[in-house]
Amino acid sequence: MERTLILVKPDGVKRNLVGEVLSRIETKGYTIVALKMMSADRELLVRHYAEHEGKPFFEPLVEFMASGPIVALIAEGNRVIEGFRKLAGATDPTVAEPGTIRGDLARDQGTKVVQNIVHGSDSVESATREISIFFPEL
C-alpha cells in the first residue's frame, strides 16, 4: 500500500480549513494513518525543501512555512501520491481546476511565495524521505 506525506500549510490552518482538507482526503477513500499539528522549525523546513535551496523563493518559502502551525499527515491507499496531487490541484491556485482543494479554497494572495493550502509528496522516493522528516518515530 502506497503512502504519502500531506501538509496543511499555515494558510490552511489559519483559515480553519484542516477539517475540509481531511474530509476531502477521506471522501476520496484514502486512509489517514498518522496526523499531528506542529510548528515546523527552520532546520526541519530546510531539510524538507533541500532541493530548492539556493533558489530565489527558498527563503520566503521557509519563512512562510514557519509562520504558523501546520498539520502533517500520512495518507495511505492505492496510487495515493498521484491521487492526492490531482485532488490538491495545480500549484498556482489561480489556474487550479474547480473541484480541487486549491481551485476551491486558495487564491493568489500577492505574497512572496504562493500560499496554496497543501503540500503533497510528488513521488514514492519523496514520500519516503518526507515521511521520515516529519514522522521520524515511524
Residues 6 or more apart from 80 whose CB is under 8 A from it?
2, 3, 4, 30
Active-site choice (64, 116, 119, 130)? 119
Residues 6 or more apart from 87 whose CB is under 8 A from it?
24, 25, 28, 100, 101
Active site (annotated) includes residue 48: no
Grid coordinates standing for 99?
A: 473541484
- In this structure, the dihedral spanned by the alpha carbons of residues 108, 16, 85 and 94, taken in order and rounded to 10 degrees, is -20
Residues 70/9, Cβ–Cβ less than 8 Å: yes
Chain centroid, CA 52 distance in Å: 16
Catalytic residues: 119
